[in-house]
Amino acid sequence: MIAALGWGLLAASSLVLGALLGVLRGWGDRVVGVVLAFGAGALVASVTFDLVLDGFSLAGAVPVALGLGLGALAFFLADKGVERMGGREGGGSAGTPLALGALLDGIPEQAVLGIGLAAGNGISVSLLVAIFVSNLPEAIGSASDMRAAGRPRRRVLLMWVGVAVVTALATLGGFSLADVVGPSWQAGIQGFAAGALLVMLTDSMIPEATAKAREVAGLATVLGFAVAAGLSAFS
């Protein structure tokens, strides 16, 4: 359990690092877009190899398919709620919508890290890298926007520390949940996380990466996929 929390904190630490980078200096859209595209490619590989295929091996296609549908619907509905609060646009008047947006992305990702540890599979290096990299541009962009709006640096950093702690606790939650449910439920949870991540990638992460990185977005995405797929094969 301590190991699960430690790995969760490591994965979530990029939120704090991104916020720190965002309040210290401005970052061009192209740089953020390239990092975003790389992280998107890494997440696609992790969804494929660490969530869906692993779920198939645990309990077959049916629990994974059910989880995929439920995860996609849950993320879609929750994301619409965050959008109405202004959280996905970076311009909400309070820090809460931005924090909700980051939690919406981070909780299913990191819960799966804990599930893998509880199942005795060890840490998924490819998923860990994908989470770490994909967190950076979101935190950088949001922290930069908040600083530009006049928020004190300390307040911005404290908010992102809080987000990182809560998402890290999701790893612990996944570990605890996997301890008390069978393979079918574990496969369904992995499918749920995969469905949520695929909707996030399609609706938010990849379009934003393409808009910011322009012609190099595809290349960065494939490189991210290749790195994560390689790490998955060797982990």
Taking the C-alpha atoms of 176, 177, 180 and 185 in order, what is their torsion angle to the nearest 10 degrees? -150
Q: State the DSSP string of 6-18.
A: HHHHHHHHHHHHH
* 108/61 Cα distance (integer angstroms): 19
* 223/221 Cα distance (integer angstroms): 5
The alpha helices in the chain, defined as continuous H runs, are 2-24, 29-46, 53-59, 61-84, 95-118, 125-148, 153-180, 183-200, 206-213, 217-234
- Over 70: is that where the pLDDT of 121 sits? no
DSSP state of 78: H
The total of structural domains in the chain comes to 1
Which residue segment(s) compose the domain that 19 sits in?
A: 2-234
Which of the residue ranges 3-7, 92-96, 138-142, 158-162 would you say has the lowest mean pLDDT? 92-96
Residue 86: predicted pLDDT: 59
28-56 b/e (C-beta count within 10 Å ≥ 16 → b): eeeebbbbbbbbbbbbbbbbbbbbbebbb
- Over 90: is that where the pLDDT of 56 sits? yes
Q: What is the pTM of this model?
A: 0.80
Tokens found for residue 149: 């709006």
Taking the C-alpha atoms of 74, 29, 32 and 227 in order, what is their torsion angle to the nearest 10 degrees? 100
Taking the C-alpha atoms of 78, 84, 85 and 89 in order, what is their torsion angle to the nearest 10 degrees? 100
Which of the residue ranges 3-12, 116-125, 169-178, 221-230 would you say has the lowest mean pLDDT? 116-125
Compute the radius of gyration of the chain from its Cα atoms: 17
- Over 90: is that where the pLDDT of 66 sits? yes
Residue 93: predicted pLDDT: 39
Residue 225: predicted pLDDT: 94
Percent residues over pLDDT 90 in the chain: 26
Q: What's the mean per-residue pLDDT of the chain?
A: 83
Q: pLDDT-derived band of residue 94, with 50, 70 and 90 as boundaries?
A: very low
Tokens found for residue 136: 């950076």
- Over 90: is that where the pLDDT of 165 sits? yes
Taking the C-alpha atoms of 14, 19, 22 and 23 in order, what is their torsion angle to the nearest 10 degrees? -150
